[in-house]
Amino acid sequence: MSLITPDFGLLFWMVVIFGLVFFILAKFGFPIITNAVQKRSDHIADSLKAADEAQARLAGMAEEHARMIEETRLEQSRILKEASQARESIIAQAKEEAAAEAAKLLEHAKVEIAAEHESAIRDIRRQVAMISVEVAEKIVRKELDAGSGQQDLLDRLVEEASQAQIPN
Amino acid sequence: MKRLWLILFLLLPVLPVRAAGDLDMNAYLFGHVGDAYEWHITTINEKEIVIPLPCIVIENGIHVFTLHHAAENGYALNADGKLVNAATGMRPIDISITKNVAGLIFDSILLCVLILLCARWYKRHDVLKEKPTGIAALFEPLIVMIEQDVIKDAVGPEYKRFSPYLLTAFFFILINNLMGIFPVFPGGANITGNIAVTGVLAVFTFLMVNLFGDKHYWKDILWPDVPIFLKAIPIMPVIEILGMFTKPFSLMIRLFANMLAGHIMLLSVIALIFLSAAMGPVLNGSLTVIAALFGVFLDCLELLVAFLQAYVFTMLSSVFIGLAHQKPAHETN
């Protein structure tokens, strides 16, 4: 048998057999296997992607968490600062008001004292004037008894007394 | 234990070996790598153990007989060992189940059973919940490797259409190569080292390439992008059309020659044992050891070649199919 001349019988059977094997395996064999493997590798790829996303989300959440803590801390210090500011301002205001009140009272007292003082002086003056008039009356009465030319003096005294009247 | 083996091994050359008769090297070699009308397994004490195979001949009707009864049916073997009409000496249409055909049938059934069992596993199991076991675990890495690394890369985005054919070709060649190395029945038939077998495989690849080639492929063959004077006298189209046939032709020759060469090499090394039988026990014994060691080496090499040739055939088929589907260069660049 020559090695390089293809034999018809073998050619025929090879076509038949290989055709059959091809048909069977291409229809019932390899597509099932490759599809299943493809399905699995797709599933693995999807799962990996999902895991990646979950991890990214987790990292985002941790970041968010840290950010929130930071914000809370800032808020806390701001509130504390505001509170202390409010306290100080209230105290300062109270002090100011107290000082103003005190000053007002003092002023009032001063005015009153001044008024009292004035009226006391006026009283004293009136008393002094009355006393002076009485004294003068007594002296004048005595003088009048003594001389005629006393009429002039009397007039002059009356004049003076009227002028010495308190303006009010 | 190791030392015992070593002693036995060293004693081997001096063991007396009964010299066999003269070895007809031609009959020995071609009997093993060639085709035959019956499957000769071995000869024990002059008694041949042979599996008779049906000879089927079409000449004025279909005649079915075994070689043993060929003469009764009016047929005889010619000098090439083919059935001829005893009266006229003409070759009839001969579709006998020869040794190679029987081997092909056996290997094909084996392949179908293995792959269908594997497919059954995937049908019966949820692939998302279980990892492959048993036969699926055996075949899956191989199938995935061939499909993803060879077919997908070479064919391109349309690889799904062609992967059943390419996978079939790969496993068909692989199982026939491996069974060819296995020396005991039902292995040992030189199937992929037969030009008819590789030729049919090459024709299938040729059909796959050319029946599904797109218009760019045909334009590249019939009106390629070359200066006009190369097309006016159709030098380039002629070369391209020739190329359509040389590609599968090279596939055919490569597989055939590699497998045939492997078988002949192994057989030649084994033949050393019988050839040296006449040269005395010492030389014969030494050569036996050498031949056995060399045979082990060659068998390992053949295992590699069996896989490699199946791989190369599949890869080149994928590349040829891919070439028939690629975008023209000036569009992609």
Residues 4 through 43 of chain A touching chain B, CB cutoff 8 Å: 4-15, 17-18, 20-22, 24-26, 28-34, 36-37, 39-40, 43
* The pLDDT of residue B17: 47
Q: d(Cα B222, Cα B157) in Å, to the nearest integer?
A: 25
Contacts of B22 (CB under 8 A, 6+ apart): B278
* The pLDDT of residue B327: 63
Query: H or E element: which one contains B64?
Result: strand B62-66
Are B175 and B110 contacting, i.e. CB atoms less than 8 angstroms apart? yes
Interchain contact A44–B (C-beta under 8 A): no
How near does any CA of chain A get to the CA of B293, in Å?
A: 29
> CA nearest A44 in B: which residue?
B128
pLDDT means per 10 residues, chain B with 333 residues, are 70 52 74 84 83 87 85 82 83 88 93 93 88 89 92 88 93 94 84 91 93 85 80 82 93 93 90 83 87 92 94 94 74 43
Among the ranges given (A37-41, A57-61, B230-234, B238-242), the one the predictor scored with the smallest mean pLDDT: B230-234
* The pLDDT of residue B127: 84
Q: d(Cα B273, Cα B285) in Å, to the nearest integer?
A: 8
Q: Which residues of B193-224 are buried (b: 16+ CB within 10 A; e: fewer)?
A: bbbbbbbbbbbbbbebbbeebeebbeebbeee
- Which DSSP category does A29 fall into? I
Are B267 and B273 contacting, i.e. CB atoms less than 8 angstroms apart? no
> CA nearest A41 in B: which residue?
B128
Percent pLDDT > 70 in chain A is: 92
Percent pLDDT > 90 in chain A is: 64
* The pLDDT of residue A165: 63
Q: Which residues of B touch A43 (CB under 8 A)?
A: 128
Number of alpha carbons in the 13 Å side-chain half-sphere of residue B46: 1
What would the mean pLDDT of A3-28 be, rounded to a whole number?
90
> CA nearest B33 in A: which residue?
A3
Summary mean pLDDT of chain A: 88
Contact B30 A1 (CB under 8 A): yes
A112: pLDDT strictly greater than 60: yes
Residue given tokens 């009764």 in the structure block: B72
Q: Which residues of A touch B97 (CB under 8 A)?
A: 13
- Which residue type occupies A105? L
Q: d(Cα B95, Cα A13) in Å, to the nearest integer?
A: 7
Contact B164 A37 (CB under 8 A): no
Query: H or E element: which one contains B47?
Result: strand B47-52
* The pLDDT of residue B332: 44
Interchain contact B128–A (C-beta under 8 A): yes
Q: Which residues of A touch B129 (CB under 8 A)?
A: none
Contact B101 A40 (CB under 8 A): no
* The pLDDT of residue A52: 95
Q: What is the CA radius of gyration of chain B?
A: 25
Q: d(Cα B68, Cα B73) in Å, to the nearest integer?
A: 10
The predicted complex's ipTM stands at 0.86
Percent pLDDT > 90 in chain B is: 37
* The pLDDT of residue B15: 52
* The pLDDT of residue A166: 57
A1: pLDDT strictly greater than 80: no
A106: pLDDT strictly greater than 90: yes
